């Protein structure tokens, strides 16, 4: 029997890497949702899915209201669809370590986490919340949300790089490690957390100065 897997944010950095790996599994039917889709598409896909990777979101929108639109409301829409159709589909959410910070992005991620936590408490559905640090690796956009991609891009093109504080320490995870962990969740190969919060097993620490070197 085919497992139908929905990936929201499928055209993003993490989503693109995850989808490429899921397509290698002949027992998975992949459902992809991004900004080219509409609400009716979302309803149809959520109704079909046996597992949901909820990766969609924004972290540098032009309008601050988009934090709520894409990070909070979309999460609420998914839960509402599940509730309406009496489904308890497992959900993996990519949150951020900034969920603990007092900024618009962090607040929106915490709100998304809370929506899923309440859904779990109401239904007992399995949820997996990953508060990711900086993610680096193939297909990451420079000059957007990855200092690693930005440094690589600028150095390769002979452009200057900016270092605000060379002693500032970064926490980073490699995209292939992230995808490996996410697929383990799908295959039920991770220990269930009482708090529903999870970490990528391998995290790298490096200062901005050493990264530049």
> 129-146: per-residue pLDDT in tens?
999 999 999 999 998 879
Backbone phi, psi, residue 157, to 5°: -100, 5
pLDDT higher than threshold 90 for residue 22: yes
pLDDT of residue 64: 83
Report whether 14 contacts 135 (CB < 8 A). yes
> 54-76: per-residue pLDDT in tens?
999 887 778 888 888 889 999 99
Point out which residues pair with 135 in neighbouring strands. Answer: 173
Percent of the chain with pLDDT over 90: 85
Backbone CA torsion sign across 66, 67, 71, 77: negative
Q: Which one of the listed residues 33, 53, 70, 105 is annotated catalytic?
A: 105
**Would you tell me the crossing angle of helices 13-22 and 175-186 to the nearest 10 degrees?**
50
pLDDT higher than threshold 90 for residue 154: yes
Tell me if residue 204 is catalytic. no
CA distance 197 to 127: 9
The pTM (predicted TM-score) of the whole model is: 0.95
């Amino acid at each position: 029997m085919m497992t139908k897997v929905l990936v929201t944010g499928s055209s993003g950095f993490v989503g693109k890497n995850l989808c490429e790996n899921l397509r290698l599994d002949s027992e998975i039917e992949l459902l992809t949702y991004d900004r080219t889709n509409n609400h009716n598409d979302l309803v149809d896909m959520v109704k079909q899915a046996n597992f949901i990777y909820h990766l969609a979101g924004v972290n540098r929108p032009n309008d601050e209201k988009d934090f709520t639109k894409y990070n909070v409301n979309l999460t609420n829409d998914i839960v509402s669809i599940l509730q309406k159709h009496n489904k308890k589909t497992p959900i993996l959410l990519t949150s951020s370590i900034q969920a603990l910070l007092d900024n618009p992005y962090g607040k929106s991620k915490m709100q998304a986490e809370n929506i899923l936590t309440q859904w779990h408490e109401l239904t007992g559905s399995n949820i997996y919340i990953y508060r990711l640090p900086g993610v680096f690796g193939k297909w990451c956009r420079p000059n957007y949300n990855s200092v690693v991609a930005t440094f690589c891009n600028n150095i390769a093109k002979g452009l200057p790089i900016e270092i605000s504080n060379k002693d500032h320490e970064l926490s980073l995870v490699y995209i292939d490690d992230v995808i490996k962990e996410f697929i383990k969740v799908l295959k039920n190969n991770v220990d269930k957390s009482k708090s529903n919060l999870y970490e990528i097993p391998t995290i790298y620490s490096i200062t901005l100065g050493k990264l530049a070197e």
